[in-house]
Structure 1
Amino acid sequence: MKNLSVFSEVAPLKKVCLHRPGLELENLTPKWLNDLLFDDIPWLKKAQIEHDYLASVLKENGVEVVYLVDLVEESLQNQSVKKQFIDQFIKESNLIHHRSKEKIYTHLNQMTTRDMILTTMAGIVKADFQTYRKHSLKDHIRDYPFMTDPMPNLYFTRDPFSTVFNTVSLNKMYKQARARETIYGEYIFKYHPEYKQTVKVYDRHEDYSIEGGDIMVLNSKVLAVGISERSEPDGIEKFAQNVFDNTDAEVVLAIDLPKKRSFMHLDTVLTQVDVDKFLIHHDFTGNLNVYEIYRGSRAHSLRIIPKKYSIKRLFSYHLKTKITVIPCGGDDKITSDREQWNDGANALAIAPGVVIVYERNQVTNQILQEHGVKTIVIPASELSRGRGGPRCMSMPLIRK
């Protein structure tokens, strides 16, 4: 089996990448929540307990769990590569003054590789430097506590890079707050002994954004991608073209979503839970604007066919089977909206008809069970504050 192999959303999960929440969550403050894309501040200790429970559930079900920090550390064993990483991190952190750059470089370079990686994720606070002085005009004007920003969204490993068949989409993030998250994927797929030969069907240096929460591998021929707040049409076209150039995929189904935070990715409103069952937010059960993207008649061209189809009709046709859609929260509008906001529609399938879900979404979980889907519930009073569910927190590397 190849190092990356994902040809389905529901085939038995064998290997997955997680990121255990770290001190980056401790660097969230009310004043800067909006800038860092959070609505609330998770309690780190409890969030780690909940995340460890997720990892233990995966392991108990035969899934090998690898951690982002370990993969990056294994990619930076060469000292010159480590220094290259630090230089790139500093450049992408938008530090302006040369003294600030020198301080950060010295600060990171003297650490062990692992501590250095964790520090780049956590953010570097000005108060860590007893001799810190305001150098730039921005320093004087803006009462900002960080020299380099924390990356609190990192525990949603689904978004920065995505396994597509035997390739990887190294994504370009839409929001500046998440842009540096993909630097870790860049070094994994450039230097890690297992993954450095991986073909990329997208690269973080492209001009347009696409994020992993919008990418779904439905089978070996069919992909679905959300045209969302975070994934731009031009990025999706480039992704589709690269997929056609490098794989046997036949069609990419682009699904237009409202451009708003509550529906930020396709997987916030839709996830597959069995070979013929999809969990979906009630508002998206009707007809949607969808676009079938095929290879064009000329090299490096695309053929795009607009449709006004429901998800049920669209997927039934392309997956060649009768599809059942299961409404998140049922038919009650209040329950549906509440549980979707708490990621009730964001389930992680670890096998056909077996999913990991948040325990707090009781109505949705009951409805799933009534449709013959086995639910493995995990606690998430703190993890859910980041607006992401079990699928968001997991990046499958291998499905059987």
Structure 2
Amino acid sequence: MTCYNKTGLNVRSEIGKLRTVLLHRPGREIENITPDLMERLLFDDIPFLEVAAREHDAFADVLRNNGVEVLYLEKLAAEAISDKLIRDKFVDEFLNEAKIRGLGVKQQLKIYLEQLDNQALIDKLMAGIRTKELKSHKIISLAEMVKSNYPFVIDPMPNLYFTRDPFATIGSGITLNHMRTETRNRETIFAKYIFEYHPRFKDCNIPIWFNRNEELSLEGGDELILNDKVLAIGISQRTDAGAIEKFARNLFSSEEGFDTILAFDIPKKRAFMHLDTVFTMIDYDKFTIHPGIEGPLTVFSITKDANNINGFKIVKEEAELNEILKKYLNLDSVTLIRCAGGDPIDSAREQWNDGSNTLAISPGEVVVYSRNHVTNKLLQEHGIKTHIIPSSELSRGRGGPRCMSMPLIRDDLK
């Protein structure tokens, strides 16, 4: 089997023509969120699955209608475990990471899962397994007795439709991320098996710039590719500064061509959880930004330096953000389009609903949520073409179109 598209992956900007993207259609995991579990599962509300799935289908249709190949996480994961030995290995690893302590439960789960075909197995593990589904199981250990009143044997994974975070495509490789929370860290196992065993990727020798077994956390919503030399990464509620250094060391020692990382130190709070919730690139010289980060924002430049023991040097930048972007992206001017124009009420509301979280499908052409109408109008006034998708239920998960998409292939910018 030869590698599809020669390299398998290619993303060297945020705005190059999008050719292939990975999505996850919301599934039964959404209906396994309860009010008592919302905080643990990182949700502030419970989306209505039927409407959320319909909205997600509209998102996928917009992409397809604009020439984008849409792949689905759940489908690729099922295809990656077609070999029985690989499937057994996957199940063992998944159950270990799900922290199934009782031997009796683990044995019963394996029996239960063996009855499912590959697609049903993946869908079930994503959805979570309710305690009552193991009808024939009898508690035989202390570990199981302590948890006997908990409604799930395996927790649901409702954040999966935000495919941006568990891994990120950087050049021809990926960061296979270590997520901040236990709730989300299991999500990265699907990407691990897809890139190791799926026929489309397994022969591509895809480099891994950061791996999921690292102790420090790095999440895809904090990773932005500004051009084929420069990345922006958020030091955020979900991404550690030390993880960025480890990633920089690996990337700069490769032949990918990237030589600069702009590390944005953003406020560590829920509303600003990732850099892409407050800052995205939408054209060569245009960016969306939430005005709430401009005042407290500190930017550090990490530049490749073969003479430094670390392989790079770090400088705290003193200029304003637009000047920093002009300098490192070699631009004459930069336009920062503030979420809802900076109005204290409208911008707070629309940023909460990801008004600054746009997915560029080509330079100056983006996908946005319908509910952020003030910001959308501003984008249009700045010459940006907007594809507006319904968002009443998808937005309840606290993520926008960029969060819901992982580009695998983009055209290089000319």
- 2:222 aligns with 214
Deviations 1:332-376, CA, capped at 9 Å, x for gaps: 111101000000000000011110000000100001011111111
- 1:168 aligns with 174
The answer as to whether partners of 2:105 and 2:144 remain within 8 angstroms in 1 is: no
Shift, 1:269, TM fit = 0.2
Q: Is 2:79 the counterpart of 1:74?
A: yes
Instruction: Point out the more displaced range, 22-31 or 279-288.
Output: 279-288
The answer as to whether partners of 1:289 and 1:309 remain within 8 angstroms in 2 is: no
1:390 to 390, 397, 401: 401
Partner Cα distance (2:91, 2:296) in 1: 48
Q: Is 2:247 the counterpart of 1:239?
A: yes
- 1:124 aligns with 129
The answer as to whether partners of 1:3 and 1:195 remain within 8 angstroms in 2 is: yes
Shift, 1:138, TM fit = 5.2
Deviations 1:165-209, CA, capped at 9 Å, x for gaps: 111111110011101000001111111122222111111111111
- 2:301 aligns with 292
Partner Cα distance (1:138, 1:381) in 2: 41
TM-score normalised per structure 1: 0.97
- 1:184 aligns with 190
Q: Is 2:330 the counterpart of 1:303?
A: no
1:273 to 274, 282, 301: 282
Corresponding letter in the other structure for 1:79? K
The aligned runs of 1:1-400 (5 Å cut-off) are: 1=5, 2-137=7-142, 139-142=144-147, 143-196=149-202, 197-246=205-254, 247-286=256-295, 288-296=297-305, 297-298=307-308, 300-321=310-331, 322-400=333-411
Instruction: Point out the more displaced range, 191-200 or 89-98.
Output: 191-200
Gaps of 5+ in 2: none
Corresponding letter in the other structure for 1:194? R
Distance 1:45 1:248, change over 3 A: same
Gaps of 5+ in 1: none
Partner Cα distance (1:111, 1:98) in 2: 21
Partner Cα distance (1:207, 1:365) in 2: 39
Partner Cα distance (1:345, 1:389) in 2: 8
- Root-mean-square deviation (CA), in Å? 1.3
Deviations 1:219-241, CA, capped at 9 Å, x for gaps: 11001100000001111111111
Partner Cα distance (1:392, 1:195) in 2: 23
Shift, 1:110, TM fit = 2.2
